[in-house]
Every structure is written in C-alpha cells, then in structure tokens.
Structure 1
C-alpha cells in the first residue's frame, strides 16, 4: 500500500494547497470590497504566512506546512487557513486512539502520513457568520481514508443564510449520490454538538470521517467537492451581512457565542486532540480559537 498510494498522497497534498490559495485570494478580495462601515478605515487585511514544522520524538523532520492568519481586517477579525503534511510514527496514545477507531496493525507498524487544510473564520460584524472548514487524507500502511466538511456558526441566525449554506453543500454532493448529503448533514449535527451545553455549536453543515469506499479516486473526488462547495456557500453570506449595522448588544452576543466555539474546540474536537498529541505546531493547531470571547 505504501507504493500504491505514493502518487495519490502527493496529488491530495497538492490539491489541498491549491484550495488554500483560492480561499486566501478570495478572502483578501473581500477585504478590498469592504469600503463602508465602522471598519472601513482599517487597512485591508492580508494574511501573514508562517512555516510550521513537526519534529518526531527522535528529533528528525516529520513534515509541516503553512499557517496563514489574518488579524484585525475590515471583514475578518481573525481568520486562519492552514495546510500541513506530516508523517512519522504515532505515539502510544495516538496508536491506541487509532486502534479504537478500527485501524488495523497499529501495534506492529505505527507509521502514518496525513495532509489537509483547516480553516476557521471569526468576523468583525456580528451579523456575518463564523465558519469552519477542513478536508484531509490520512494514511497508514494498513489503511487510508478521507475526512472533513464545513459548518456555519452564526451568533445571530438568519434562516435564509442557513438555507443557502446547506443548499450549496447539497448541490455539490449531488453527483455522489442522493443519499450522501442527508447522511453527512446528520453526521455534522451529531459531531458538532456540545454535550455539556446540550446544544449545537452552530447551524450545521456537512461532515465525514474514515471515508474509504475502496475507490480512492471516487473518495478523493468527493473530498474535492466538499472543498469546492466552501467559497460559494460562505462568501455570498459575508457579502450580504458585512455592511449590516451592529450594536454593542450584538457584539456581546457574538463574544458569548465564541465562548461556545472555544469550548468545543478545546474539549471535543478530534483534530485539535490529534494535532497536539502528535507534536504538531501548537500555534497552528490552536489557530481556530477566536481572538476574543466571553463567558456569562
């Protein structure tokens, strides 16, 4: 399987980088379009790009990526678009977690390779929704799979915005079977639920993990369509809401909602746990946290 999937791994990693470049360009264009409102006097936001590295337990190189973060822009208060490709051997805790998920052979050969893109956007205007998106490929000598999705996290909900976000996801998944969108929507509803608050993190989206149908090309095509759905699902909502007047009460609502987001990512998110457990750059892993939040 190592030889069979070498080219496929390179193809997946290259595509995640292409998607990253498209999103970065689109978000910087949004910053340029924001010429009215209370943040219009700020410089148009630009991404600061930092190389990230992962070091194995024996000190050898174990991959890395790019952390691209924009702070204090006209539209985005903080947004990160990270890509990474990491590899090496899983530690004991990660091996145990993988074995619990049904990955065979981790006790005899714990090598792994993982590549993906991860995005979280926190907005200046409380009426513009926060959003999360990621897609990834994971490989071991015994198995491979894809995962990811995107979900919308408005602090002030608009039914028409939620409908648009879901409609675009549904349209992009249609080529992969009529039953797929309902399945991935239900998966997102379950995954992005906060048990200790007894509520969802946001208004949902789509999510999958451990995707291996046995047809790598088909599963990669699905993963690409999940990524391609993101910009048309999200950017029109930002354009619609970025000029909406807001009050201090609206901002307070936003900060409290961000507290929910932080709780989920620190307590439940599988990607956060994996990144920290495998020694990836902690700043890149925790990029998802909002710049400001509030608890009542």
Structure 2
C-alpha cells in the first residue's frame, strides 16, 4: 500500500509538469481539463499517502479498533475535492462554448497525452496488484482516478485532432464538459463507498454467507446467530454467537470457538473475529442472518 502511494504521487507530479507545459503551448481547454484532473490525482494521491500511513498504524489504548477509518475519511475528502474541481472545469468549458478559441501546436498536446497514457497504464497495473493483495479502499479510489485518466487522455487526443485538423473548435469545450461530468460521476461512487464504511455498513452478503457456512461447518456448532460485520479501511471486524450443546464443557466450548475463529481468520486474513458461545435452543436468540446456501 505504501509503495502504491509513492508510485501514484510520483506519476501525478510528472504528469502535472508535462501537461502544464502542453497547455501553455496549446491553450486547449480540454488539455486544461486533463491538467486539472492530474492536479486532482496529485492531491488525492498525497491524501492517500497520509491516510495509508495512518490506517496502517497499529491499534493503541486510545484506538482499540485501530486507525482504519482514516481511509474512508480520506476518500470522502477526495470525492468532495473532485466535485469542486469538476464544477470549475464545467464553468470554463461553458465559457469556451460561447466563445470558442483556436488550439495551437496540437502535435505537442497529442504527444503529451500518449506519454500520459503509457505512464498511467503502468501505474494502474501496479495498483490493481496492490488492491488484490490488500483490498484497500483508498488505493482503489486513487486507482479509479487514473483509470478515468486513460479515457480522458484518449478523449483529449480526439479533441485535439478534431479541433486542429478538422477545424471543429467546439470539440475542445464539449470534450472538457464531458470529462467534468465523468469526474462528478466517479466522485459519487467514491463518496458512497466511503460513507458506507464510515457508517459501519455490513460486509457484502456473499462474504457474510461464507462466514456463516464456515461457522456451521464445525460439527460442534448447532446454530449461528447475531452475525455482525463491518470494515474500517484494511481492517474487518466479525462478531457472532455460536449455539452449542448446553451440556458442553467450558473447555470444549472454548476449543470449538477457537477452531471457528481460526477458520474465518484464514479466509479473511487480518480480520478481528470475536465469537460468543450460547446454549442451543435459547428462545429469544435473534435469527436475523441470511441463511447459508442449500446443501451446507
């Protein structure tokens, strides 16, 4: 995760410098939109870097559940910053629609966009590897920006070609406006996912079902209830009540709970799993969990 944040910040700084020079030479508002997006990426990557450092800080006596929520807080800030920048870009694009301006030295702009695409492809590939390993929300949000950049850079190449070679100056602000709308749509998804994590939304149903299956698979477990799950950045928290034979000794009940915890922790590395044991058949035991798939 740290390596991914270092790589993202470095790529963003290189692209900001290259696109700033290209925009000053061409005057293209579409290229300006790409520059704004790269500035966003740089800001988001720096926020991600800080959030990852905080999220990976071990739990302490003031933060017994760790610091994982630094990730969704950072992602929410990223989303707000993206929306603000997209609105600024929209205003500039509308102004250019009413007053189109010529674009100069399109070849330089196209060359910078091709360079940006190649560098971004390498970064996205590395981020995808990190996300598979860690499931990090903030790296995922950061990667989403750069994936969007690939489409943005391709659209800007099309804009420069249409404006410079086919004398269609309106293509420049039209593409810029489309990019602004795309950024707002992405921010909506990032913000929603961050809010879910901050509000302690349950893990996806598929993961909850797999947890129930693993718990019920133990021969000493007669039932499961009160499964509660949540995520905080890279950390998962899983709690449940196991229903055991009421005559089971305390030592045996403890051993069964340990075995279930170990199995779940193996499937969800790094998860904080807490299991409580209840005698089977308690009449007021909640039954609000999704059933396991048939045959389990």
Above 0.5 in TM-score? no
Larger RCO, structure (CA 8 Å, separation 6 or more): 2
Higher strand share: 1
State the structure with more CA Rg.
Answer: 2
TM-score by length of 1: 0.28
TM-score by length of 2: 0.28
Higher helix share: 2
